Amino acid sequence: MLASIISSGLAVGAVYALIGITYNTMYSTSRVMSFTAGQLGMLGGVFGSLFMLRMGMSGPVAFVLTLGLCALVGVITEFVAVRPVLKSLDQHLYVLSTLALALMIQQVTAIEWGTEPQPFPRLLAWGSGPLDERFWLPVAACVIVVLALEYLYRRTLIGLAFLAVAENNFAARSIGLPERRLRVISYALAGVIGGIAGFAAGQLMLAFFANGPLLNFYGFVPVALGGLGNNRGAVLGGLALGLFQQAANFTVGGIFASIAVFVLFIVVLMAVPQGIFGSNSARRV
């Protein structure tokens, strides 16, 4: 039982961590918490199943097309739900605009795809039991994404530009950085990360339209636990959440496992409001 808890917990936690990174990637250049992050993960599984099972495409082709479409959804999010709000005096309207777009994506998916969970094909057929690919693929995807982002942010000019905009968008704009273009690119990148999460977790969570709200909440918890904008904290928070959730499922099960997650979430935020790995922001006036 312990092996099952660890393998499933790490797999689910890796998915939550990737959705948390999706949140952070969109937030970094816009200061907007877009509630379409979970929908991007859901679409990663739905598009993957659509291309491979219904259309008969190979895994690599389906993977590339899935990430392309998820990136497009990310760009649409920036144009439709974020950019108009940033021009408004009351920028907190993004809560309504991104949530409305997320609900639209979910309902369109339910109409076009169906309301029943659909199977997701095996990709590599490697491993069995606790080492089955449905458990280690999300973990591998999470590791690759984190390493790729570390390289992007520390070794490339566009990554350094992302960091500059995230640190101070007004100063970045004053030195000539194309803030709007960088924001669009970051939302496309967030779409790719969300698509990777859904595609890698397809065998674990199936292709199901209702995965969107689930991932929205459980992907937000690592962000809150790890500190907003902290990808490393999101990874640690996601893995811890996944292990805790699966342990609760095995011990108390059902609705009590969800209650345990809520209690943990509230207790941590009451103790450390800025997140375990976050820091108090200071502003010079």
Task: Over range 124-138, report the average pLDDT.
Answer: 87
What is the rounded CA–CA span in Å between residue 256 and residue 16?
A: 20
Give me the pLDDT at residue 275, please.
67
Q: Where are the domains of the chain?
A: 1-271
pLDDT-based confidence at residue 170 (cuts at 50, 70, 90): confident
Which of 18-22, 68-72, 231-235, 275-279 is predicted with the least confidence, judged by mean pLDDT? 275-279
Task: Over range 176-190, report the average pLDDT.
Answer: 92
Give me the pLDDT at residue 46, please.
97
DSSP states of 162-226 as a string? HHHHHH-HHHHHHTT--HHHHHHHHHHHHHHHHHHHHHHTHHHH-B-TTHHHHHHHHHHHHHHHH
DSSP states of 46-110 as a string? HHHHIIIIIS---HHHHHHHHHHHHHHHHHHHIIIIIHHHHTSS-GGGHHHHHHHHHHHHHHHHH
285 pLDDT higher than 80:
no
**H or E element: which one contains 251?**
helix 231-251
Task: Over range 95-117, report the average pLDDT.
Answer: 94
Give me the pLDDT at residue 69, please.
97
134 pLDDT higher than 50:
yes
10 Å CB burial of residue 10 (0-12, 13-18, 19+) is: buried
Length of the chain: 285
More confident residue, 278 or 232: 232
250 pLDDT higher than 70:
yes
284 pLDDT higher than 60:
no
190 pLDDT higher than 70:
yes
Task: Over range 90-110, report the average pLDDT.
Answer: 88
pLDDT-based confidence at residue 89 (cuts at 50, 70, 90): low
What is the rounded CA–CA span in Å between residue 211 and residue 43?
A: 9
Give me the pLDDT at residue 131, please.
86
Residue with the two structure tokens 């591998």: 140
Residue 185: C-alpha distances to residues 12, 30, 137, 146, 217 (Å):
27, 11, 26, 18, 24
**CATH topology for 1-271?**
ABC transporter involved in vitamin B12 uptake, BtuC (1.10.3470)
